[in-house]
Structure 1
């Protein structure tokens, strides 16, 4: 019998700490939306004490419908658009609440807001009503009010399907290139990445600025840190020198430096606290 598939927790700092406090689920959107939307993600919580979750962000724009105080009358739900955070993303939660999120594929949000480059949203979190012209207050309440996932999914689909943009070949290229950076460990340097894509380094950088929102180097390094973070959280002993070489670092010191700068603690310290 095959071993059960382990839940994908890439990017989550201390995933066991988060998942023991919240209900976290992922769902696919309607098939016509999947070209540019990777998934829906839902989190529900009911906590006696505040908790701060930390995530090493993916190179994705997220649209979220949130309700931080379901059991209080003076905290209405709201919708937020979040560009790629520059550093570690921290979210403090307390009481009873939920988030219904839409994760766009890296490179996939630009077709929904074609008048601005994706880099315009990087490092920003703003009222989604500033981006989408629809009456979001009604949509937000309709999405976060149901207690069952099926209804939430149906209402997200109903909101997003009319917004479905026309195919954008440049967005398609950006989506494919970011996926290559995520899955292909031979992609270690921007010049080699550009050559493999049949582009100049400058053309690759322009494409990523316009459609992804961060540089190709940022994407390559971020996926390296995701791998290192996942290993550090699941193994008591990690050969950091071997991992650094496997991920394309010049030496262990460079991996330790990037990990510490991104996560906030050295990898050995994280391993000790997470296992």
Structure 2
């Protein structure tokens, strides 16, 4: 089961505005990992940049003036917040792909409009009452009602793609595609096709994203642990390989990241 307290994904948690995750009802757990809800009120003339190392999944986001579908990302990303606003979103399980009838591979790095007025209207109505975070549960309930009404059950291959994400996200020593394929009882080629069809990224990219998220969390939360020790625990070949992944995806070194986060915890 997804953990709403999972600290991975956000590079600088101390900079988050009012943020909450809510698990979906059991009957929707195959479609949604969790709902995430954020409210912000930024002073005039200022912008708050939220730097992210996203989970390799799609997000269906409700935010005035409409609904958007964000595809998986191949690198770090950010959202700039200004003024006063809100967003209510679902972090989608891979199995939701068949229900939404979209191709995540075609959406990598993109955010596109999604025509869902029946989702936008009730959530906007709830939030326009001005109750802020007190309305989060009502928003998640309205989101769940729309999903039940609008999306058919996932197919068997989508559920298998969910298993792949669950395995990689909870197994810190999952380091290669062959290991994951064996764990799921499938061939490497079948796993590659499954990952591209339902996640939009090659399986190795998915594995590396979770390993890098885990590394960033440990670097951020364990300042007394050396980066070489973290690299060894996560079965990187050595510290240099971890540093290379950091620079390639995030644009800076693990030690620089630790320095940037040390004053924000």
Q: Which residue of 2 aligns with 1:24?
A: 19
Q: 2 CA distance for matches of 1:30 and 1:190?
A: 31
**Structure 1 position 82 matched with structure 2 position 70:** yes
Q: 1:92 aligns to what? A: 80
1:200 CA drift (Å): 1.8
Give the superposition deviation at 1:144: 4.1
Q: Which ranges in structure 1 are unaligned for 5 or more consecutive residues?
A: 68-76
Aligned residues: 254
How far the C-alpha of 1:178 sits from its partner, in A, is 1.3
Q: Check conservation: 1:50, 1:92, Cα contact below 8 A.
A: yes
TM score, norm. by length of structure 2: 0.88
Label 1:183 to 1:135 Cα distance change in 2 as closer, same or farther (>3 A): closer
SS at 1:57's partner residue? coil
For residue 151 of structure 2, what is the aligned residue in structure 1?
Answer: 164
Q: Give CA-to-partner distance per residue, 1:155-176, whole Å, 9 cap, x none.
A: 2122211123124111111101
Shift of 1:139: 4.7
The answer as to whether partners of 2:41 and 2:85 remain within 8 angstroms in 1 is yes
Question: Which stretch of structure 1 is more off in the superposition, 35-44 or 178-187?
Answer: 178-187
Q: Does 1:271 align with 2:254?
A: no
The alignment's TM-score, normalised by the length of structure 1, stands at: 0.85
Asked if the contact 1:142/1:155 (under 8 Å) is kept, the reply is no
SS for the counterpart of 2:90 is strand
| 1:232 aligned onto 2:229 | no
Higher mean displacement: 7-16 or 93-102: 7-16
Aligned partner of 1:43 in structure 2 is 38
Please state if 1:125 is matched with 2:122. Answer: no
Per-residue CA shift, 1:109-132, capped at 9, x if unaligned?
Answer: 212223x43312222210111xx5
Q: 2:128 aligns with which of 120, 124, 145?
A: 145
